[in-house]
Amino acid sequence: MQFTSFVVAALSVGSAFAAPAPATRDIQIVDTALSAVSSIKALVEAELSSIESVVQNAVGQDVVPILEKTLGNVGQEVSSLLTVVLPLVTKDVLPLAENEIANVPALLNEVLSIVDGILGMAEDLVEKLVPDVLAIVKPELSFVLNTVIPVVKPVLKFATSAVGDVVTPVAKEVTGLVGQVDSVASGILKPIGGVVVAIL
């Protein structure tokens, strides 16, 4: 009897060491993503404001160096978001706690603000720059526009998965924001009238 008990106890201890540790969900990932996206949004908005100011004051070739630099900055800043949003779909994040789900609309709103600002900037450049200048800055502008979809897709996938089939006010808000972000992001490459398509 004692021998049997000893064997069972030994096997239990051995199993405890042999069994893989359960995956630990990253409970900070949503807050981290929201904070990082908000910081990048502030940088992008500052660059977009500079571009708007430059275009309003002059549209000749003298603005080319400034536009090339600021557009390059925007592209790099948006691209840097990939390291922030990809973990949302590659790490063990779900299911979210109630307080975490409450932050998803804020994350989507920040992304929407960035994407909407970029679309407005692109349309502004197409409208106000002379063709020669637009042609010169086309590579930088194309770079900015092509960074949007790779950043948006993981965010939308994460947000949709986070709420699932739950029917709550927050879930409804998330669903609505997902539609808005998707619509604006799609409009960057396929806007009504083909304004941005003409750039690319």
Domain assignment present for 154: yes
CA gap 137, 134 in Å, rounded: 5
Domain assignment present for 5: no
CA gap 44, 40 in Å, rounded: 6
Domain assignment present for 4: no
Mean pLDDT of the chain: 83
**112 pLDDT more than 70:** yes
pLDDT in tens, 140-150: 999 999 999 99
Domain assignment present for 6: no
Domain assignment present for 3: no
pLDDT in tens, 133-184: 999 999 999 999 999 999 999 999 999 999 888 778 999 999 999 999 999 9
State how many domains the chain has.
Answer: 1
Residue 73: half-sphere exposure toward Cβ, Cα within 13 Å = 18
pLDDT > 90 fraction of the chain, expressed in percent and rounded: 57
CA gap 96, 30 in Å, rounded: 9
CB atoms within 10 A of CB 107: 25
pLDDT of residue 53: 92
Closest CA to 101 of 150, 45, 160, 50: 160
Alpha helices in the chain (DSSP H): 2-18, 29-57, 64-79, 82-85, 87-90, 98-101, 104-128, 131-163, 169-189, 195-199
Q: What is the mean pLDDT of residues 86-106?
A: 87
Q: How far, in Å, are 125, 138, 141, 147, 188 from residue 129 at the CA level?
A: 5, 11, 12, 22, 18
Q: Which of 59-63, 104-108, 140-144 has the lowest mean pLDDT?
A: 59-63
| Burial class for 50, CB neighbours closer than 10 Å (0-12, 13-18, 19+) | middle
Q: What's the predicted TM-score (pTM) here?
A: 0.82
Which of 104 and 93 is assigned the larger pLDDT?
A: 104
Domain extent, residue 116, equals 26-199
Domain CATH code at residue 40: 1.20.58
Which tokens go with 90?
């590659």
Domain assignment present for 8: no
Q: Are 110 and 38 in contact (CB under 8 A)?
A: yes
pLDDT in tens, 14-29: 444 444 433 455 558 8
Domain assignment present for 170: yes
pLDDT of residue 14: 47
Domain assignment present for 2: no
Distance between first and last Cα of the chain: 80
